[in-house]
Each structure stands twice: as structure tokens, then as C-alpha cells.
Chains A and B, each alone.
Chain A
Amino acid sequence: SQQGEEDPQALSIQEGENATMNCSYKTSINNLQWYRQNSGRGLVHLILIRSNEREKHSGRLRVTLDTSKKSSSLLITASRAADTASYFCADAGGTSYGKLTFGQGTILTVHP
């Protein structure tokens, strides 16, 4: 089975609302990362949270990590139509050479 499973699979909101996406993983991690993918393009790194951190902010992004529940959430505040994309979490578990295990992603649609 796959690490880093996202929930929900799809999310549709209005501009200005907040969007929350959740991610679960199965084994211990060094850090957890969130990436964004615009339709048909490559992924872009958004934010990284280390295993000893509980919360991190970057602009309109807020990430939390709960290692006891093996889960993370990504909050996008005051969403914009340009935030429409797929969002993936990826965990750097006890692996070598910087390998990441990606979840299946959440498709976010923000309606203007």
C-alpha cells in the first residue's frame, strides 16, 4: 500500500474560502513535504515540515504535522482561482538518497 494518502481526493470551493487537505503516512519520517502541480505540468515544492516540528507557515500556507497520528494537513487561506491545482504530500521516511513517497493527491478547484 502507498504512503502519503491524501484526503479528500477532490475539493471544490469559492474564491476567498480556506482549503484544507489532509495526508496520512504509514512509517516514521524525517520530514514531510507538500507539492503543487498545475494541470499537465511538473510538480513545484511548496513547503517542508520536519519530524520535530508541529506547525509551519509560508505566506497563505499553513502546514501541521502530528507524528502520533502519522498525519499532516495543508491549509490554504483566502484561496484564489490561481490556487486551482493538484496538491501532493510526500514523505521522506527512513529511506536513502532523498527518496520521497508521494500520495495520490488532492485536486483543488477554486471558483472565481
Chain B
Amino acid sequence: DVKVTQSSRYLVKRTGEKVFLECVQDMDHENMFWYRQDPGLGLRLIYFSYDVKMKEKGDIPEGYSVSREKKERFSLILESASTNQTSMYLCASSKVGGSSYNEQFFGPGTRLTVL
């Protein structure tokens, strides 16, 4: 059974803290994605990675960075957390090519609250 896991379901941090959100997939997928989801705004892409050590900015990268040192792991970093980064964060992965091209597999999400 394919799986994408995220390090925490719920996280509470203080303004200014450095926050790490971890995502691991066991499907040997090349692509990995970080989204944030806010009411009324749907899913917005923060960053994605198509290979180890490779990354591309999504639609809302400001205030975030990412790291992909191993194929199965993609980390999202909030350098200095702010209250407007309170949100649900979703990680996803997908493989390149094949009949399921573009189908993304999602983790359960991390609900981050920044106080």
C-alpha cells in the first residue's frame, strides 16, 4: 500500500521560530510537492522538487524554503514563522510518466498554528 507520511498532524509554534515539516514517501516517486490549504483559497503550491537536490518555486514560496537530500524525503522549512503561516500543509508525491501521469498521492496533512 503506497504511503506518504508527514511528521506531525498538529503543530503549535511561536512567531519567529524556525519550523521544519517533514514528508516521506515510500513509492520511489521522482516528484514531491508542498501545498498549503486555506479556507476559500483551495490548495496553493509552495515548492516542488523533481529530483534529489532539485527544487522549483511554486506560486507562494515567500517565507519558505525546502530541502531534498534523499529521494524519499522532502522537507519544508519556515525560516521565521509568522502568524499568517498558520495553515494546513499538505505534502504530495507523483511519479514521472506511465499511465498515472501526474496523479499525486497526498499525506494526511499537518495543521500548523503559529502564535
Contacts and interface: CB of A to CB of B under 8 A. Distances in A.
B104 A100 contact: yes
Nearest to B100: A48
Contacts, number: 65
Contacts of B88: 40
B109 A40 contact: yes
Interface residues on A, range: 20 to 34
B42 A2 contact: yes
Interface string A70-112: 0000000000000000001010100011111111110000000
Interface string B81-115: 00000001010101010001111111111010000
Contacts of B12: none
Most central of A30, A31, A43, A103 by chain B CB within 10 Å: A43
A24 interface: no
Contact of B108 (A2, A41, A96, A98): A41
Contacts of A100: 102, 104
5 contacts: A30-B101, A41-B109, A48-B103, A88-B43, A92-B101
Interface of B: 4, 31, 33, 35, 40-43, 45, 48, 50, 56, 58, 88, 90, 92, 94, 96, 100-109, 111
